[in-house]
């Protein structure tokens, strides 16, 4: 049986690079995106491989339901939750519609698609889920002057990190792998769409991000950070989180007691 991957956000950037790499490696691919013309162009690149374009808007319930049905019904060997939207702005200025779109695309969609895909993978005792987030998920403590306003966007990516870590633990020993892929700044259309000129900023290619993600799966990495050379930095973060989690007590901490 041919391997079958479903990739969301396949019309550009990391999603398109994933679809192209997987198709080039012989996977059949279900390529999901909003733009039919780009999906058709992608399919035409691989005449010897089944690349099935699926036009769906994951900012809507109908779009999520359509793709979730594919995840449940098709024998997926890999699900890549990559679809994204570019809404960097202060929370107070973020229109309600854009906030809803962002949460739907980066929280609701990957959650529901993963939920739909995992039972089949468990039944087949094989599969992989890759949730594309970003290093900005770890940027909460950064001074405001160093980063764009991003409360909802960063929070959505942090959700993907924690969900992936917990799901990895749930699926341990089942043959189903989970990864959250956290690149830094990538040379895609993402920032151009919001009028940000990053031409002078060093950026990783989408192809390198995909290379890291696939190699990270082979290495068993749950959190894959393509641009972080020293993996101990990530381990330090996670060990500190576990230490804080384990440091709880039913007794009120001293600093909160009335003096």
**Which residues are designated catalytic?**
153
Q: 234, exposed or middle or buried, with CB in 10 Å at 0-12, 13-18, 19+?
A: middle
Q: Is 248 helix (H, G, I), strand (E, B) or coil?
A: coil
CA dist., res. 72 & res. 204, Å (int): 33
**Host H or E run for residue 192:** none
Take residue 20 and report the two structure tokens written for it.
């192209």
Element (H, E) at 190: none
CA dihedral 222, 223, 225, 231 (to 10 degrees): -90
Crossing angle of the two packed helices 36-44 and 13-24, in degrees rounded to 10: 30
Q: What is the DSSP string of 34-72?
A: S-HHHHHHHHHT-TTS-EEEEE--TTSHHHHHHHHHHHH
What are 249's strand-pairing partners? Answer: none
Instruction: Answer yes or no: are the C-beta atoms of 78 and 3 closer than 8 Å.
Output: yes
Pair 84, 160: CB distance under 8 Å: no
């Amino acid at each position: 049986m041919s391997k079958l991957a479903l990739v969301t956000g396949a019309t550009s950037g990391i999603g398109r690079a994933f679809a192209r790499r997987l198709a080039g490696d012989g996977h059949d691919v279900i390529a999901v995106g909003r733009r039919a013309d780009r999906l058709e162009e992608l399919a035409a690149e691989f005449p010897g491989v089944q690349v099935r374009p699926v036009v769906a808007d994951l900012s809507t319930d109908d779009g999520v339901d359509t793709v979730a049905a594919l995840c449940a019904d098709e024998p997926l060997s890999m699900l890549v939750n990559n679809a994204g939207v570019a809404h960097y702005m202060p929370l107070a200025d973020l229109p309600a519609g854009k906030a809803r779109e962002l949460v739907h695309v980066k929280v609701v969609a990957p959650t529901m698609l993963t939920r739909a895909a995992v039972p089949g993978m468990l039944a087949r005792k094989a599969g992989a889920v890759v949730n594309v987030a970003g290093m900005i998920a770890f940027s909460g403590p950064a001074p405001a002057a160093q980063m764009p306003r991003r409360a909802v966007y960063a929070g959505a990516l942090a959700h993907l990190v924690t969900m992936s870590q917990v799901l990895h633990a749930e699926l341990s020993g089942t043959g189903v792998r989970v990864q959250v892929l956290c690149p830094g700044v990538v040379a895609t259309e993402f920032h151009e769409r919001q009028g940000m000129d990053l031409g002078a900023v060093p950026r990783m290619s989408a192809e390198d991000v995909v290379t890291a993600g696939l190699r990270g799966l082979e290495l068993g990495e749950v959190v894959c950070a393509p641009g972080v050379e020293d993996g101990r930095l990530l381990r330090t973060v996670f060990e500190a989180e576990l230490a804080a989690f384990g440091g709880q007590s039913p007794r009120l901490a001293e600093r909160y007691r009335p003096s």
